[in-house]
Structure 1
């Protein structure tokens, strides 16, 4: 009977005192048993006017939908950054679906984000077909790998080494101390990467836990160069499987950061040399990572379980967003963008100078290409190309050859990647 009601829920920004009801609704919306209160962690995340909740008018204490956002710095092609409205914790309880609750919360959030001056919004889509109607498009991808240690032959012997470098195992307390600075240095060179809030490190190191998510202390190793500076880290876990008397263990890499190739080589050599390990599984690797080419047999780097779109992006301010990134070649193209919510609607001239800087301004000139707001989001970080969008029927070439020409402008030397859930 509950799905037949036509009442409107009360949607509002919650107070900190309402976090227990919000946390329970979040667990229910994600189909997770609410085994215990997760408010300790929610308090670390809490910001006024950023946690939305929908409350049942027949029981005003019952939260039936959730929505949270926070501002975060996003690295864009060329090493620049923009402020992004990061959306997460989006749920609608099954008793209150198809009543427009998500649309109302999303409209409120994006309007506020635009008012705050966020050029883009980002989120991770649990289902592919939900967020395109709000102007989001896939902007990064996961690329898991599964490698048979013996059959791959391990890493080639001719790879660059780190003279005087060393690897040390560290405690979770040491990881909380060393990780943030390393990540900050790394993510500024990786388009698609986002900054990490302090509570990120508290959660991944077990200082704070979320009920319902089993946390076991992983192995954590850092690489130091000859001067003692930390240049990389690897966090992994091991299962303890045996084929009778024969070890058949899998080493699963959950986190991997390296500032240079010699550091990466040293850390991967460690992963491939751990006793009893038959398989190395990497949950999420950058699409341009050279690891498969470093193996003696690259065929053994097979796709893992996590190969899919990951972070989605929505442009809110075309001029600010496109001025922040860098481009592959000088030139000019005009894009006709359709946007049901109006943020990016209209005709835009993208002009790129010989030094790789660019600007995107409104124009009355004839358009070269036509596309939607979601496709603009997919192009922004370089996750997609215009020729592929045209071939897929998701963009229209209005002038012959325009897609290939614009692709040269938008091309990035490093594909976007974000290893972090949020």
Structure 2
């Protein structure tokens, strides 16, 4: 995986991408890892694209120090008054996506911006298509991203594959009825929590479809241990330790006082990581029993949280669900072969891909050792599924039932129930952070 990541990071730009951008009088380049000035200008463009203010030197240095692993693409306009500041940006890196029963290499995408002065010119389409072609050619079976705007990425074959739930809990009303965990809860410094989190996350993320490995620099940003961190003092960290001394859980949270009623203050769970059921119960019970807290909020949760069955009054929780982890299949045989199937079956997939990266006819032989073959014509006598690459990407992780997509008119098959049984998963997909 590290070889693929490094090869991708330094790979040359797609020829068709370069030619299309230059035909518009623009230039496209890869920002060199050691070029601080170009990285600063690239970061300035990203900040503008996400409605942030100008970065100071401390923030620029911290970004430079933590993002060398990323492939950073810049589109510049030589005719602009400030020609060195990009008018479009794109970042990606090699990651690993968890599927039901397996993991698969993934091209993770972030920092996608186009300046308002250069919208509606096809710049994003050319960037995305060119970089997806490069990722596919080098061997990434899938691409993944989290989106600030939900309506952008479907046209490129991405589908929301792991939804995220946000909970707002009336603490006094909820009342804990879950198990009493046998371990202990202790406070940690942010530095100690940041040091403990990576190993714990590695234990957890390989069991949860939709999760990816934590990108470089994210732990330091989450725990606010970087030099550019703001309001770091408001964060609190607790750990759950089992009776045998194993650290099985961490929670990062912050509180906000209620000036009108101090006993009705609020707490926000920034991140919760639990490797065991006991750690999960212990951490949530602690958070729901803190003194002076009337409202507890948590986001990026699963849409099927055990917490729902650990509180006496489920109406104490207001839950909203939104799209979160997006997935895009780049190599159908590699992607389908990387996950587990709990039933033996053989099904034909006729896949349409508007970008021409992963379309074709494929025969999936599911079972203990799944295999996928590309064929010219569907074999006679096998059930056939006709769908787009976005629909295939949506069911790959297990976040939506194929039967649901069939009823929505998003795929065609004579036997939706059969396809649904094949792609069923016992674990609900989740991605616990943004990237």
TM-score by length of 1: 0.91
Please state whether the residue corresponding to 1:335 is helix, strand or coil.
strand
After superposition, the Cα gap between the structure-2 partners of 1:48 and 1:259, relative to the gap in structure 1 and judged at 3 Å, is: closer
Whole-Å separation in 2 of the counterparts to 1:45 and 1:312: 24
Aligned residue pairs, count? 403
Whole-Å separation in 1 of the counterparts to 2:254 and 2:295: 12
Which residue in 2 is equivalent to 1:228?
245
Say whether the 8 Å CA contact 2:47–2:55 is kept in structure 1. no
Q: How does 1:192-211 map to 2 (within 5 A)?
A: 192-208=210-226, 210=228
Post-superposition CA distance 1:297-335 (Å, at most 9, x none): 12222214xx20001111111111111110132212211
Q: How does 1:281-300 map to 2 (within 5 A)?
A: 281-300=297-316
Question: Which of 72, 80, 85 matches 1:62?
Answer: 85
Post-superposition CA distance 1:97-135 (Å, at most 9, x none): 111211222122112211321110001122222111111
Say whether the 8 Å CA contact 1:254–1:284 is kept in structure 2. no
Post-superposition CA distance 1:5-51 (Å, at most 9, x none): x9432111112230111011111111222152432233234347810
Which residue in 2 is equivalent to 1:113?
135
Whole-Å separation in 2 of the counterparts to 1:216 and 1:96: 40
Which residue in 2 is equivalent to 1:352?
366
Is residue 2:154 matched to residue 1:132? yes
Which residue in 2 is equivalent to 1:406?
419
Please state whether the residue corresponding to 2:90 is helix, strand or coil.
strand
Whole-Å separation in 2 of the counterparts to 1:35 and 1:141: 32
Is residue 2:337 matched to residue 1:323? yes
Is residue 2:194 matched to residue 1:176? yes
Say whether the 8 Å CA contact 1:203–1:209 is kept in structure 2. no
Say whether the 8 Å CA contact 1:326–1:358 is kept in structure 2. yes
Say whether the 8 Å CA contact 1:288–1:414 is kept in structure 2. no
Question: Which of 187, 190, 195 matches 2:208?
Answer: 190
Whole-Å separation in 1 of the counterparts to 2:294 and 2:44: 41
Whole-Å separation in 1 of the counterparts to 2:67 and 2:53: 22
Is residue 2:72 matched to residue 1:51? yes
Deviates more, 1:102-111 or 1:247-256: 102-111
Deviation of 1:53 (Å): 0.4
Whole-Å separation in 2 of the counterparts to 1:81 and 1:32: 35
Question: Which of 17, 21, 34 matches 2:54?
Answer: 34
Say whether the 8 Å CA contact 1:170–1:220 is kept in structure 2. yes
Is residue 2:280 matched to residue 1:264? yes
Question: Which of 291, 311, 324 matches 1:275?
Answer: 291
Any unmatched runs of 5+ in structure 1?
A: 1-5
Deviation of 1:338 (Å): 0.5
TM-score by length of 2: 0.88
Whole-Å separation in 2 of the counterparts to 1:106 and 1:214: 35
Post-superposition CA distance 1:352-408 (Å, at most 9, x none): 12x4x42222232266221111111111101111111111121122x2xx2110110
Which residue in 1 is equivalent to 2:404?
388
Whole-Å separation in 2 of the counterparts to 1:352 and 1:383: 19
Is residue 2:93 matched to residue 1:93? no
Question: Which of 347, 353, 368 matches 2:384?
Answer: 368
Say whether the 8 Å CA contact 1:8–1:99 is kept in structure 2. no
Whole-Å separation in 2 of the counterparts to 1:320 and 1:277: 48
Which residue in 2 is equivalent to 1:71?
94
Deviates more, 1:260-269 or 1:91-100: 260-269
Please state whether the residue corresponding to 1:87 is helix, strand or coil.
strand
Please state whether the residue corresponding to 2:200 is helix, strand or coil.
helix
Please state whether the residue corresponding to 1:66 is helix, strand or coil.
strand
Deviates more, 1:91-100 or 1:283-292: 283-292
Deviates more, 1:359-368 or 1:94-103: 359-368
Which residue in 1 is equivalent to 2:430?
417
Question: Which of 169, 174, 184 matches 1:147?
Answer: 169
Please state whether the residue corresponding to 2:127 is helix, strand or coil.
helix
Which residue in 1 is equivalent to 2:13?
none
After superposition, the Cα gap between the structure-2 partners of 1:197 and 1:352, relative to the gap in structure 1 and judged at 3 Å, is: same
